[in-house]
Amino acid sequence: MRRRPLSASTKQLGTAAIIALVLLRLALGWHFYKEGSAKMQDGFSSTGFLGAAKGPLADSFKGMLWDADGKIRLCYVPSDSSQVWSEPSYDTQKVKAYWKQYLDQVSNFHGYDAATKKRAAEALKVRSGQLDDFFKYNHVEIIEFFRQMERREEQLQRSDMTGVWSLKGQGTKLQGEVNATRAGYLASLDLIWEGIERDLNSFGQGDVLEIGELDGPAISSSQIDKFIPWFDLLCGLALLIGFCTPVAAIATAGFLLSVCLTQFPGAEGAQPVYYQAIEMFALLVVAFAGGGKYLSLDSVINHFCKSCCNSSEQTVKE
């Protein structure tokens, strides 16, 4: 009995294996296509899974969230550690300067004349007054909140706080208080930011120019929110029709890997990512087992390329 070399036998699939591979590719493609369609229709926000990141890469993922700690909107000015006694404070000038820049951008975007821009400036003045009132009425509470926030940040930098269970519990309690207080303040401030966007655009017609992000990250969650629905939709469609199958499969596997890394395996508080990991490995099987060679646009293109090459070779020989 003649034995085939291992290098040859591993490249051949039986009919059942081919059918299973094609069905796997179609199932994965359908899943991503439907996910992309749903996100396009219903909207998508990456804030949840980025904000809930756990593990050694958590800071990198959370860094994609604009003002996740609220320091920009709260106009936070840290205490001076070089001084014997110093307390945190706030300064609204940077935020107000950004709002004035936004007023100019909106005016250019809508083509406001001088009178209309003046009306928009008056609306901005009202919103700036609301910001001043917010800090005026909450001054004592906000300064105390800043102290709590700095105390918690100092705890996180100390290794002795993470090694003792009782101290760890105290830190967790303080973190919960900081998060709850911050959420309440940011809810009020977000209303002012949203009001500015709405008021300044109300004098124009058509599209709304978004207020954007002051000192936003290079790769922000807002950019991700626009990219992922299209990514899911197009990669899912590519897998369904079998076009550039290895590229689409590896790209989607990489995306799922990033999802898994937001909940780093073994990290404290990390959620299970079994389903994402299984689907990621299934995509790698499709990519490296030739899932695009059968019943696919790739196979049609490959057939025509071979036909053209063979015709050219015959012409040269003649």
Question: DSSP for 217-286?
Answer: -SS-HHHHHHHHHHHHHHHHHHHHHTSSHHHHHHHHHHHHHHHHHHB-TT-TTPPP-HHHHHHHHHHHHH
Count CA within 13 A, CB hemisphere, residue 158: 12
Structure tokens at 276: 């994402």
What pLDDT score was predicted for residue 162? 54
Helices (H), 43-138: 47-51, 58-62, 93-110, 114-137
What pLDDT score was predicted for residue 310? 64
* Contacting residues for 105 by C-beta, under 8 A, at least 6 apart: 209
Task: Please state whether 159 falls in left (phi above 0), alpha (psi between -120 and 50) or beta.
Answer: alpha
What pLDDT score was predicted for residue 153? 82
What pLDDT score was predicted for residue 313? 56
Q: What are the residues facing 89 on neighbouring strands? A: 77
Structure tokens at 166: 């009782």
What pLDDT score was predicted for residue 159? 53
Structure tokens at 98: 């950004």
What pLDDT score was predicted for residue 1? 46
d(CA 309, CA 229): 38
Please identify every stretch of the chain with a pLDDT value under 50, giving residue numbers as ranges.
Answer: 1, 4-10, 160
What pLDDT score was predicted for residue 219? 85
pLDDT digits (tens, 9 = 90+) for 216-262: 888 888 889 999 999 999 999 999 999 999 999 999 999 999 999 99
pLDDT digits (tens, 9 = 90+) for 262-291: 999 888 778 899 999 999 999 999 999 988
What pLDDT score was predicted for residue 314? 57
What pLDDT score was predicted for residue 9? 43
Global pTM value? 0.74
What pLDDT score was predicted for residue 244? 93
Asked whether the beta carbons of 202 and 116 are under 8 A apart, the reply is no
